[in-house]
Amino acid sequence: MSYYERHIFFCLNERDNGEAACAQHDARGAFDHCKARVKAERLAGPGGVRVNKAGCLDRCAGGPVAVVYPEAVWYSYVDKQDIDEIVDSHLKNGQVVERLLLPPNVGR
């Protein structure tokens, strides 16, 4: 058994050169919302869920992105309702949110 059941990493990368980056899509707001929801659902902590910030995850063309481990499930999201669905379905119940999956060929 690992220390956490699941980790979700949110790309919060910013770029000054005008290239696509997750920060342009309020990734910080999504991260903050997810962290608050995980805490409110009492999922946070050892044996539960850890919500982490990440730098560039190199999937910029699909941004904003988040990835859930250990399943290595990549998501692209639009708003807080999408984050709520990821929390309720995947982080809480282990059910992948198919409609939010990032296509495997999307890169930088």
What single-letter amino acid sits at 13?
Answer: N
This prediction's pTM: 0.93
Q: For residue 52, give every residue at least 6 positions away whose Cβ sits within 8 Å of its Cβ, in sequence order, or none.
A: 7, 8, 9, 10
DSSP conformation letters of 59-70: -GGG-SEEEEET
pLDDT in tens, the chain (108 residues): 689 999 999 999 988 887 788 999 999 999 999 999 999 999 999 999 999 999 999 998 888 999 999 999 999 999 999 999 999 999 999 999 999 999 998 877
Beta pairing partners, 101: 75
Pairing of strands 65-69, 49-54: unpaired
Domains of the chain and any CATH numbers = 6-100 (3.40.30.10)
For the beta carbon of residue 84, count every other beta carbon within 10 angstroms: 14
pLDDT of residue 16: 84
